[in-house]
Amino acid sequence: MNRRLHYLSGVIISIFVGLHLWNHVGSIDGADAHIARMDTLRVFYRNIFAESILLAAVLLQIISGWKLFRLHRKTATGLYQKLHVWSGAYLAVFFIFHISAVMAGRFLLHLDTNFYFGVAGLNTFPLSLFFIPYYSLAILSFFGHIAAIHHKKMRHHILGISPAAQSAVLLGVGIGLTAFILYGLTNHFNGVPIPEDYKILTGQM
């Protein structure tokens, strides 16, 4: 039962994360493009029905994932089994902190949790020393988790590519996308000017 709930909640979360990453890809064209794409996507997920399902899925994922982590962390062998276990553990921790931060931003600080909310720490030194690996590991763990599941379940070649090579491709896509998104979220590595309202996030107010 735990595995079924874990899988179902994982599918729901993956759909949202896919949309979320697609939103971040838009940052390559600047903050305005990112926010415009976000406003379009929010029509689908920024409502009580969708958010309730997503939060329930995250809660199920964390609870069932923790049980699976405790069960397999000492017995996992090989690259992809270990990647499956430890990427899931990092994602669970990330979800707790990231969702808590977003909720605090929305309901306590009364900020629009848009592009600037996400990049304030990423573009402020020395906070960037934490936030760059924090966000990077989240994206890498997401793709690593998918690659590990793919490696476990896939038994067939696709276009002559073996299952192991397919998983390696997924990891490569994750690495490339992580670099691309960071390139956009830091305004092509030159840094993003943070509006006054959002400087409270970096202790500058």
From CA 99, how far away is CA 103, in angstroms rounded? 6
Q: Which domain holds residue 184?
A: 2-202
Domain with residue 32: its CATH number is 1.20.1300
Residue 9 is given by DSSP the state: H
- In tens, the pLDDT along 60-114 reads 999 988 888 998 898 998 999 999 999 999 999 999 999 999 999 999 999 999 9
- In tens, the pLDDT along 149-173 reads 999 888 778 777 888 899 999 999 9
pLDDT of residue 155: 78
Count how many domains the chain has: 1
Residue 46 is given by DSSP the state: S
pLDDT of residue 129: 95
Judged on CB neighbours under 10 Å (0-12, 13-18, 19+), 50 is middle
